[in-house]
Structure 1
Amino acid sequence: MPPRRLPQMPAPAPWRFSALAMAAAVSVVSGALAPPAALAQPAAKVVDKALRSFSIPAAPMDTALNQLAREAQVMIAFDPGLVHGMQSRGFQGMATLQGVLDALLESHGLQAQSEGLGAWRIRSAPVRGPGHGARVSGQESRLGEVTVAARKDARQQVFETAGSVAVVTREEIDRLPPRNTADVLADVPGVYTSQGRTDPGVSVNIRGMQDFGRVNVMIDGTRQNFQQSGHGSNGSVYLDPEMLGGVDIAKGPTSTVGGAGMIAGVVNFRTLEADDLVKEGETRGARINTSSGSNGYHYAGSAALGFKPSEDVDVVMLVSRKKIGEFETGDRGSITVDNHASVHGVSQLTSQDQTSVLLKSTWRFAPEQQLKFSYIGMDAKFGEKPHEASGGGILNHVRTDTLLANYAWNPSATPLVDLKSSLYYTRTRNQAHRYAGGTLDPFAYDLQYQTSTLGGTLENTSRLQWGPKDAVLLKTGAEFFHDWTDPQAQALSVGADAGTTALFSGSTPKGKRTVASLFGEANWMHSDWLELTGGLRYDWYGMQGDGRMRVGSLLNPPGVRPPATTLYTRFAADRHDGAFAPRLAIAVKPVEPIQLFASVGRGMRPPALTEALMWGQHTGSLFPYYPNPDLRAERSRNWEVGANGMWDDVLGRGDKLRVKAAWFNNKVHDYVTLARIMSPIDTGGGGILGPYAYVNLQDPFRSKGLELQADYDNGVVFGGLNYTHMLVNTGKGGYDSFPLGSLTGYPNNNLGEPGDANIWYVLPPRKTASLSGGVRLLDKALTLGARVRFQSPSVNTSAWTQQGERYNQKSWRLFDLWASYEISPHAVLRVAINNLRDLNYSEMQGGSYFMGPGRTASATLSIQF
């Protein structure tokens, strides 16, 4: 029988929490309405036998129980009168939850009784007379009981984790309604978005690295590997922020789930769960959001339903709509983009119309086992039709579908098994219509780019105890994913042929790739001041694909159409490789508020299908693309040092200050980038419109920098600071200018030498910062807040100065305001102004920059019941 929930009753007036308990949800059980006999009905008694490290200081008993509930993430019910005046001596060290409770309650005549998995009740211990076991005095108190339900505090966990992690909460997302999903990550140190406002997708850059899977971007743990070649980023993820419950970010390589085939970090967008919608003790709940605003922000909204028909089943359903138009850029100042001045005006290609659906259900079909199924879908249309008779323009229709099944088994009878697994399928397809226009692009096309991924994960966590102060957490598992692409191009104009359609289908080639990984990680904890972690991963990949590449042309006799015949040759690729990736980490607490941590790790990123198999030509037949099936996998070395700091009662009772700082250093060997090469039949020179291919650089790519994050909150006043100082050294470059060999004896050329100007890089801003703060007024019903964001551009430090000038954007500062008012317990009104000063500024977009929106005001009504 599954564990039964503790009933929730009205709270007695005298009760109040200390500030340390603000993260806990509190309800009071009245003895008259729920007598002890009713609470003692049979329930499944599942005792948590896991050994963990606890640090509970000496404090009044109610405060100690409060903090324990928060640390252990459990519910503890007790009568405030029962513990009034009692002082706990605290607890430091390794123990089970029952052991900690026993230590806290020792010598006070109290006992902790398990009410099922994650629930405990504090009662008076039976009083026994001398010489026999009969109870001789006292009845249990029938005063109101306090239930401390400690929900996961995601922000707190960031500063308790010995490593560079970050979260974005639903509260932060609601403050300033995001125009694009990219806006959700605007305040995360070390994380950048690199997708222009022309596309509703999001492309993530972590610590200077992005594209082709360097960053593993997931939705509920499902990899999103869609790629489409172009002048922007190569790798976009599509989802509506209305679906989100939060975002989890881990920077650098990892030796657990999510680390296969990536070298920069993991970003997991978490969708809503039933607990986000259904209040404790209820069986159903709903949330309706509706937003509208200025500057093309026409409408964004969602309706979400949550059901808990029984203790064993919960269901989530959500549908959302968003329609935004082409925005106006700011009217204050101007910037330089690609060496051209930008002026105020309407930014084309920025309109979007999208619909999203989320379906999710959890079934706890047996004690300590559960299955979860979900579907995530999004349909988005964006782009523009021709504005003039000369034509041009493109309309995109993206459809993404994700199916996910999760299984979890956590038997309380043994600490050696905590099993989690998943199996998923995701497909992203862009059906685009490209209008004819101009001399270089005289034909119209219907295009399709599609990436499908089948993947799965399996991970088990074992908990072992070594002596009274030492514990080991052992994680072992495996993961895999298989990608396959299906590009299609159909010419709609007279005169187009197979050669012209290859302009589009070859640049995002057809192929398939499999990545599989085995991993293990051991985490040793000594008391509460020392952690050592060692991990090892083995990644393997295999890739297959074929195509045809242009190798030249022959002039036809006069009067013959076309005037020249293009020559192609076919190629095929079938290769595989593998590598070990170790990781070591240490964390120590020299003094209680401070934790120091350091880690070093290696990673491998296999070549993407586009990098190894690209062929065809640039639009307008300017130059051909060549494949490079012999591309080597990137090998990275990443290390960091950092510190966490957590202080309570800094300026007064109840406030808290949390700080995380880290210095990181990344070095990538065999870095893969696009560069101009020599054709196998070239006889020398390598003209400016010669072929391009992805190549391995001979000199390592390096990025390093400082990240700082700080949060302060005293219940009334709150604030946050995020800062990143990024230093990117692209190195001297250098590469093999004949990746496909030569049939003419490898003639001399000016390509591939160190300092070559024909290499394409993506450089994030050099400095970024955001400072936000606010106040909660009228018994926290009204919240007023503001944010300022700062960005300073990067300038390439290598000899690649010709293209480096395009990154020399002006620095900018953006000011934002927001306010929220709780109209009733079920309704909240939010208003926001983004870019208050209407600044004309630019944002990172792949290898270049794109205009950001000018001043935008919006209002959101959120109803939850």
Structure 2
Amino acid sequence: MTARRLLRPHVLAGSVAALALCAMPAQSQQATIQPAATEAAMGFSIAAQPLSSAIVKFAAQSGINLVANGALPASVKVSAVQGRYTPQQALSLMLKDTGYAYRRNGERLYTLAAQGGVADAADVEGVTLDTILVEGNGRDGSVSGLVSDLDSVYQTSAAVTTMDAQTLRDRHAGNIDNALRSSAGTFTRKAMSGAGVAVNIRGMEGYGRVNMMIDGARQNIRVMGHGVSGGSTFVDSDLLAGLDMGRGSLGGVAGVGALGGAANFRTIGTDDVILPGNSYGAMSTVKYGNNAYDWSAMAAAGMRVQNIGVMGAFSRRDSGAPMSGVDDNGKRLLNPNMAEDLKSGLAKLELGDGEDHKLLLGGVWYDNISTIRSEPQDYRNQTYTARYDYSPGSDLIDLTVNAFYNDARVRFIEGNYKGQFNRDKGMGVDVTNRSQFALGDDIGVKLTYGGAYYYDDVTTGQAWGTGGPGDGTIGLGSLFTDATFSYGMFDLTAGFHYDSFRLKGDVVKDVSGQLVYESVDRSDSSFNPRMTLAMTPIEGVQLYTTYAKTFRPPTVTETFFPGAHSATPSPTSPNPDLLPETSKGWEFGVNVLEKGLLLEGDALRLKASYFDNDVENYITSGPYSMANMPMLKFVNIPGSTRIRGFELEAGYDTGFFFTGLEYSKTSTDLPYGMWSGDYGVGAVNGLPDYALSVSAGFRVLEEKLTIGGVVRKVGKTKAVKPPFGPDLIDVDGYMLGDAFATYKYSENATFFVNIENITNTAYKPAHYMDTRKLGRGRTVIGGMTLRF
């Protein structure tokens, strides 16, 4: 038997590292190394269960990496461990009377083997094993309640996805739309202008159906007419540390008032700027591209003194109007609406060491000028956040408090509508605590619970009834909890959101030929349960099923929209009687995370899910006529509207070679809103038949040089026939090829190049509002990142 087979590790949760296994003496004891005097105790909640599943729980709760010598028999049971212990004490209690012992081989590496049956040191010399580093405190790093760690995606019983800044830069040249469209279950609605991104999850988009956030701060601005009226997020991709997405029903703050999912845009912080081991540092990324991409540059600097960290960054991009690919007639078209003049920046302040108290303050600024139908608009977004963590070392207290203020404004700066604007001033606070304890010796319990309140004040700067969305305010409050009961290979999670909203504003009524203002003040609430049963029959494979209800209140825009175009007032089109949307349905999923499957150091990751939901009281724009002029109002669609689909994301990585696949197919009966095409009023819901992304590549020169490519295949779709609908037109599918290369010269310098649309294909992007414009033609973008 080879040493590799003899020492195949049982690995447990987090990101990959390669560590050498040190030999274990033949007569190892239950605790051969005493804990250091300074080593802190931590909370453990591990039920009596088979050893093979218990070590997974231990690693997840302690952050310790375990490798096992040989297979672990299913008949070996561990003792329950409940309470506060050092990792060594907890492991000793857990292994009591099992016939297994451990040895500490490093600060965060233990080896495990049957007493008396341990391999001799000569048998394992030079053998490298794959282990996993696990965060021990149970917190996610994403602020929003979504996972922000690659391996955690494949150990979470929910449809979640994450993408780091390196992947966004290397494979997608910082293009957020391309990145989201290449991820399973997510898509975007592309506006006429180059500014902003509108996330679509499983066919759901706009008006808060997807909770879009920047560092946990909700983005709720709506721009009515020729823009993405349901809402866009305005953020500079060069300032991002990552994107985290959750599809379907979500627990905690991410799921408050969201019908179809959430997307959080994480910006860079102090740890992204300062190299490990340093107290100060700087980082700069410079890019240049053809086809009117031109120059972009980002510079950041930071320092950390004792328990205080501070950093700042500034980014600048001035891109022109790109050309499309070559059509069948050999022509290329110009897309002036995609030009941008972007300035952005951020600042972060950290106080505390994170062991007990930690406070993080941040500000993100965005200012962009782009064009819709030859009329320039200024897009401004200011996001201010505060996060406080308190973890006193108690099993019952692990507290996080988030607060934010977000001021977003879109304003015409030239043209017929010069000076008109839409503005949303949003603020919110949410509180989440995590506790753990045991029910007897067999059942471990983890609780996540808290509350949230969010408030938006919407103004348009226009007289009532002159074409913009109406003014008003909305407050949304929520109480939420999730309780996970763990017994052996099973995890049962039961939770709920209790959401309540209050909507206020003015409408106008025609009383005896006079327009009379009338105040609207209405509220409603909903109890939204959720239950998930997960099973891990073998290590690395998890099956789960979820039943859930979600809820979305009508927005200020939908309720108070005057239904007019230009300066034609309408006294009847607001709809203060709109009902909230709800969705009920099932999801079935499987996660696979296997290390060392075929080769030394390889990794297989797979996540697949099928979902089937019924949406009730779906809100869309509906037509009516006044004085022979087509007018609009937002209405509820009677009955249920079905959404169902399948998603798959898989990847295999050997270190030298890597490949990945993302596939989505969503079927929806959601209606097309009137004037939802070029006019951008209602939701389009025109997802392609399917979306497929296949990537592959290799690493050489000690993995310093990475070369790869991506093929994106998008199926046919439909769009609203110009100018008003309701008839639809077919939009052809397309296939695009991209290539990328990265060379990491040192930890201080990385060079990269990305080629989008290699074949220079002319295509009409799916879910693009402007039916007369084509996508970007072949574009080469190269650059470098320097760190000091």
Shorter-chain TM range is 0.7 to 0.9
- Corresponding residue for 1:634? 581
- Corresponding residue for 2:786? 863
For residues 531 and 70 of structure 1, do their structure 2 counterparts lie closer, same or farther at Cα, with a shift above 3 Å needed? closer
1:700 CA drift (Å): 2.1
- The answer to whether the Cα contact below 8 Å between 2:48 and 2:442 also exists between their aligned partners in 1 is no
1:46 CA drift (Å): 2.5
* Letter matched to residue 641 of structure 1: F
Q: In structure 1, how many angstroms separate the alpha carbons of the residues matched to 2:783 and 2:192?
A: 22
* Letter matched to residue 812 of structure 1: Y
- Corresponding residue for 1:327? 322
Q: In structure 2, how many angstroms separate the alpha carbons of the residues matched to 1:237 and 1:181?
A: 11
1:314 CA drift (Å): 2.2
> How do 1:397-436 residues align onto structure 2 when only pairs under 5 Å count?
397-412=378-393, 414-436=394-416
> How do 1:231-380 residues align onto structure 2 when only pairs under 5 Å count?
231-234=226-229, 235-310=231-306, 312-333=307-328, 344-364=332-352, 368-380=356-368
* Letter matched to residue 549 of structure 2: R
The counterpart of 1:215, out of the listed 204, 210, 228, is 210
- The answer to whether the Cα contact below 8 Å between 1:430 and 1:450 also exists between their aligned partners in 2 is yes
Q: In structure 2, how many angstroms separate the alpha carbons of the residues matched to 1:92 and 1:656?
A: 28
- Corresponding residue for 2:494? 534
- Corresponding residue for 1:452? 425
* Letter matched to residue 582 of structure 2: R
* Letter matched to residue 687 of structure 2: P
- The answer to whether the Cα contact below 8 Å between 2:495 and 2:531 also exists between their aligned partners in 1 is yes
1:328 CA drift (Å): 0.4
Q: Residue 774 in 1 paired to residue 697 in 2?
A: yes
For residues 590 and 18 of structure 1, do their structure 2 counterparts lie closer, same or farther at Cα, with a shift above 3 Å needed? closer
Q: Residue 818 in 1 paired to residue 740 in 2?
A: yes
- Corresponding residue for 2:41? 47
The counterpart of 1:706, out of the listed 625, 628, 646, is 646
1:672 CA drift (Å): 0.5
* Letter matched to residue 374 of structure 2: G
Q: In structure 2, how many angstroms separate the alpha carbons of the residues matched to 1:403 and 1:652?
A: 47
- The answer to whether the Cα contact below 8 Å between 1:477 and 1:520 also exists between their aligned partners in 2 is yes
- The answer to whether the Cα contact below 8 Å between 2:190 and 2:769 also exists between their aligned partners in 1 is no
Q: Residue 481 in 1 paired to residue 454 in 2?
A: yes
For residues 367 and 297 of structure 1, do their structure 2 counterparts lie closer, same or farther at Cα, with a shift above 3 Å needed? closer
2:303 is paired with a residue whose SS is strand
Q: In structure 2, how many angstroms separate the alpha carbons of the residues matched to 1:846 and 1:159?
A: 32
Q: In structure 1, how many angstroms separate the alpha carbons of the residues matched to 2:309 and 2:332?
A: 50
Q: In structure 2, how many angstroms separate the alpha carbons of the residues matched to 1:346 and 1:488?
A: 33
Q: In structure 2, how many angstroms separate the alpha carbons of the residues matched to 1:486 and 1:701?
A: 32
Q: In structure 1, how many angstroms separate the alpha carbons of the residues matched to 2:670 and 2:482?
A: 32
- The answer to whether the Cα contact below 8 Å between 2:649 and 2:663 also exists between their aligned partners in 1 is yes
Map Cα deviations across residues 551-575 of structure 1 (whole Å, 9 max, x no partner).
999xxxxxxxxxxxxx644332111
The counterpart of 2:193, out of the listed 175, 194, 198, is 198
1:598 is paired with a residue whose SS is strand
- Corresponding residue for 1:602? 549
- The answer to whether the Cα contact below 8 Å between 2:10 and 2:539 also exists between their aligned partners in 1 is no
1:674 CA drift (Å): 0.4
1:843 is paired with a residue whose SS is coil
Map Cα deviations across residues 770-804 of structure 1 (whole Å, 9 max, x no partner).
0011100111011100000010123599xxx9645
Q: In structure 1, how many angstroms separate the alpha carbons of the residues matched to 2:571 and 2:327?
A: 42
* Letter matched to residue 256 of structure 1: G
> How do 1:147-226 residues align onto structure 2 when only pairs under 5 Å count?
150=133, 154-178=149-173, 180-196=175-191, 198-226=193-221
- The answer to whether the Cα contact below 8 Å between 2:366 and 2:380 also exists between their aligned partners in 1 is yes
- Corresponding residue for 2:24? none
- Corresponding residue for 1:784? 707
- The answer to whether the Cα contact below 8 Å between 1:790 and 1:813 also exists between their aligned partners in 2 is yes
Q: In structure 1, how many angstroms separate the alpha carbons of the residues matched to 2:672 and 2:761?
A: 36
- Corresponding residue for 2:669? 729
Q: In structure 1, how many angstroms separate the alpha carbons of the residues matched to 2:58 and 2:328?
A: 53
For residues 55 and 552 of structure 1, do their structure 2 counterparts lie closer, same or farther at Cα, with a shift above 3 Å needed? farther
1:508 is paired with a residue whose SS is coil
Map Cα deviations across residues 707-760 of structure 1 (whole Å, 9 max, x no partner).
001010011101110000111113799x9xxxxxxxxxxxxxxxxxxxxxx986
1:820 CA drift (Å): 0.8
Q: Residue 393 in 1 paired to residue 366 in 2?
A: no
Report the count of equivalent residues: 723
Q: Residue 546 in 1 paired to residue 506 in 2?
A: yes
For residues 121 and 182 of structure 1, do their structure 2 counterparts lie closer, same or farther at Cα, with a shift above 3 Å needed? closer
Q: In structure 2, how many angstroms separate the alpha carbons of the residues matched to 1:69 and 1:284?
A: 35
> How do 1:740-755 residues align onto structure 2 when only pairs under 5 Å count?
none
Q: Residue 383 in 1 paired to residue 371 in 2?
A: yes
> How do 1:468-617 residues align onto structure 2 when only pairs under 5 Å count?
468-489=441-462, 502-504=465-467, 507-527=468-488, 529-548=489-508, 568-615=515-562, 617=564
For residues 56 and 813 of structure 1, do their structure 2 counterparts lie closer, same or farther at Cα, with a shift above 3 Å needed? farther
1:828 CA drift (Å): 1.1
1:405 CA drift (Å): 1.1
- The answer to whether the Cα contact below 8 Å between 2:742 and 2:752 also exists between their aligned partners in 1 is yes
1:100 CA drift (Å): 5.5
1:611 is paired with a residue whose SS is helix
2:352 is paired with a residue whose SS is strand
- Corresponding residue for 1:745? none
Unpaired stretches in structure 1, ≥5 consecutive residues: 1-15, 29-39, 59-63, 78-82, 124-145, 335-341, 385-391, 437-443, 490-497, 554-566, 736-757
- The answer to whether the Cα contact below 8 Å between 1:673 and 1:761 also exists between their aligned partners in 2 is no
* Letter matched to residue 484 of structure 2: N
For residues 461 and 70 of structure 1, do their structure 2 counterparts lie closer, same or farther at Cα, with a shift above 3 Å needed? closer
1:395 is paired with a residue whose SS is strand
Unpaired stretches in structure 2, ≥5 consecutive residues: 1-6, 21-33, 112-128, 136-147, 675-680
* Letter matched to residue 585 of structure 1: T
* Letter matched to residue 728 of structure 2: E
* Letter matched to residue 319 of structure 2: I
**TM-score (normalised: structure 2):** 0.83
- Corresponding residue for 1:387? none
1:659 CA drift (Å): 1.1
The counterpart of 1:652, out of the listed 569, 592, 599, is 599
Q: In structure 2, how many angstroms separate the alpha carbons of the residues matched to 1:551 and 1:189?
A: 52
Say what the alpha-carbon RMSD is for the aligned residues.
Answer: 4.0
- The answer to whether the Cα contact below 8 Å between 1:816 and 1:836 also exists between their aligned partners in 2 is yes
Map Cα deviations across residues 226-283 of structure 1 (whole Å, 9 max, x no partner).
1111234220111111121111111112241122211100111111232223333222
